[in-house]
Structure 1
């Protein structure tokens, strides 16, 4: 017989979906349109927002807050006193630690909006991570991250600052390895094909994403040369795509895996 052990004091919103063999303790709250898969354990006073996906074998230690549109993948562990912002993606087997280093004062761990944490990374007690930051696989985050960018290693260190030319709307999801704001393959007029010296032209614009954009793993969106490379609202781009500089993708477009779109292209609505 399939059994979920769910407290009578559990509260959830509309369109809530749950799998099997889950344990949900007292005073847990889950928002609307949230899915909980199998073998999940949510301990006392865990709060989860709207539009979240909680994968199998995820567990929380209780007394933690998880925002809206958050994805927790397989076997990730959320400790007490952790607050996770909106639009955060946490990869499989990520662990949060609730015990401070010797001599350090205990404090709340804060994960900013739009953060992506890679496979098997470790986030230590009381760490604050700046919104829009990417934490690489197996990184060990032992101190605050106050400058958004990409961090890897043990201890985690900055290898690439966040591109200030990239603007994202609400509820955007970027899968592993997505690059927003790559340098376009465009040379200045003084560079000839046979020249030993080839000068890349400096982009004057950036990348602009609308709301509810989903971009699959290892896709690239180039910086605009003269105007922003623009992706509209409710656009879905599959894995391994390349969006050329100064292109415009209008609302509600779906792009299949492996598609390459050259510079200055325009794709109309609902294509």
Structure 2
């Protein structure tokens, strides 16, 4: 369910690596970022915002995936190089590395494949890692950065590798729900805890579970009633991590608010018509899934 909002200040220290003490729960805490060569990560971060990644130098990864806010964008549909709307809503890049497949249709099996596909797709960058490497090789500063990280000038595989390594660090641990999983009984309010119990009892956790609260299986949408655009029929279940920060929702971006998305999902997927109290509780729980990135709360949510 992806797009936006602003980052609010939070303590500057890195969030701890939480380990669940509640072994019987279907959701597990987000781990701390992996240990990766910092020179490769730093280079990948620079590339992520470099417009030379696109064929016409008009856009970067950050054009649609704003890591200063929610890792996605506020639009129902981002636009391609030709100005036409991209068919599917933009998924957040935060915690994407924790999912078992990539993209709404789950056609790509790892970050490298997903990154390469984005660079080459005519609907996104319309370029290639070879073309990008040639552009970067003409920049002395970039050449120096590649030498420092990889021991040679920019090469096609290194461009993809650096971008993939940076994306692996885009995890957002430290949310209220993860603190509760780690044993902090006071981390969740009564409404949030009640929403979680409802989340499980209604059956939401059948598809939205694991470390990413989703992202680890495929499902048909519109099981009982139509939900959003009919195509694609089968989707990779999206992660609900930071979901409160990523409106609009669904693969077509047709649900403008989390409240609206919760009601529609329950009706279409579970054949359940929720009460106002149930919607409030579920939304409260979903808000508790908002984590932190670099000492700031993602999207400025609580």
- TM-score with structure 1 length normalisation? 0.26
Of Structure 1 and Structure 2, the greater strand share is in 1
Task: Pick the structure with greater CA Rg.
Answer: 1
